[in-house]
Amino acid sequence: MAITLRAMRYFTTALRHGSIAGAAAALSVAPSAVAAAIDRIEAHFDLDLVRRQRSKGIGPTASGRIIAQRFERLLEDYEAIEAQGADLKSAPGGTLRIGYYAPVAPAFLPAILMTALPDPSAVELHLEECDNDAAQAGLLDGRYDLILFVSRDVLPSIAYDILIKAPAYALLPEAHPLAAKASVTMAEIAAGPLVVLNRPVASDYYRSVFAAGGSEIAVAAYANSTEMVRSLVGAGLGCAVLNMRPLTARSYGGDAVVARPISDPLPPLSLAIAYDATRPRRLVETVIRACRAQFADAARDRCIVTG
C-alpha cells in the first residue's frame, strides 16, 4: 500500500514533537491515528524507524531520521504546489536543523536567519552547537540540514563552501599595555599568561601558531567556550588568541576587551558551510544564499580583525 501524504505528515509531526500525544494535539486527531500511521510506514519499509520509550516519548532511529527528512521534502514540495503560483523564491515553512561549530555564531547567525526568513513563525528552527566532527557526522546521517564549521580535517564525502577566512588576532584586557598598540606580535603575546580556547581544532591551531614562532607560553587557563575565554581575559587573567569576534567589546562579565591584529604571518581559520547539494530543500537553499550574502558583504569585516 502506498504511503499517503497524511501518514507522512503524522509521522514527521510525531518525531518533531517527540511524542505521539503531542503530535495528535498539534494535528487535532486521535493519538491512535498517529500511532497507526507510524506502524504503517514501518511496515511499508520493513524497518524500525522510531524508538519508543514509555517515560521519554519517541525518537527517530538513524533510518527514521533519514526517512523523516525525505518526507519533509515531499511535504514541502506538495505545499508549494498547493500554493498555486506563490513565489518559489520565498522562504517556505518547515523544520530547519543547523549544526554549528562556530563559537561566535550567535553574533551573525540570528541576523542571517531573520534576513532569509520573511515569516520566521512558519519555520521551526533547531540550532545545535557541536564540535567539528559532530557537525560533519550530523550532516551525513541527516541530523542536520546544513552545518557551519571550520574547514580543517574535512571528511572526503562532504562538499563545502568557505564563507570567510578569519586571521588570528589578540584579545587583551582594556588596561593591558599591548592594548595601546595598533598591532602586536606573537612574541609579545607569549610574554604574558594566556587564556586558551580548548576546543577541538581550535586548540591544535593555537598551539601550532605559537610553536611555529618558537614561543614558550605560560597558560593561565583553558576554557571550552569563547565567551568564557573573553570573560577571563576581561577580568585580567591573561591574553588570548582568537579568530572570529562578536560584535561587542564587552564580555559577559561586563569587562571591556580589546582586539588587536597580529603582525606575524599566520594561517587563518576558515568558516565553511556544507549541506546536501544533491537535492536541497528550498528552505535550506534560502538560508545558504543568505549566509553567502552576509559574508560577501562588507559587513563580514565586523567579525574579523585585520591589520
Q: Is the pLDDT of residue 25 over 60?
A: yes
When pLDDT is averaged across residues 133-157 and rounded to a whole number, the result is 92
When pLDDT is averaged across residues 191-203 and rounded to a whole number, the result is 87
CB 58 within 8 A of CB 19: yes
Q: What CATH superfamily classification does 90-164+269-307 receive? A: Periplasmic binding protein-like II (3.40.190.10)
Three-class SS of residue 284? helix
Q: Do domains 90-164+269-307 and 168-267 have the same CATH topology?
A: yes
- Compute, in degrees rounded to 10, the torsion defined by CA atoms 83, 126, 278, 43: -80
Query: How much is the pTM?
Result: 0.70
Distance between CA atoms of residues 192 and 36, nearest Å? 65
Which of the four pLDDT bands, split at 50, 70 and 90, describes residue 230?
very high
For 74-127, what is each residue's pLDDT tens digit? 998 888 777 654 444 444 567 899 999 988 898 889 989 988 887 777 788 999
- Compute, in degrees rounded to 10, the torsion defined by CA atoms 128, 247, 177, 252: -50
Question: What does the pLDDT read at residue 215?
Answer: 65
Q: Considering the domain 168-267, what is its CATH architecture?
A: 3-Layer(aba) Sandwich (3.40)
Distance between CA atoms of residues 194 and 3, nearest Å? 59
CA 182 to chain centre: 32
Phi-psi region of 19 (alpha: psi -120 to 50; beta: other; left: phi over 0): beta
Distance between CA atoms of residues 209 and 222, nearest Å? 17
Q: Considering the domain 1-86, what is its CATH architecture?
A: Orthogonal Bundle (1.10)
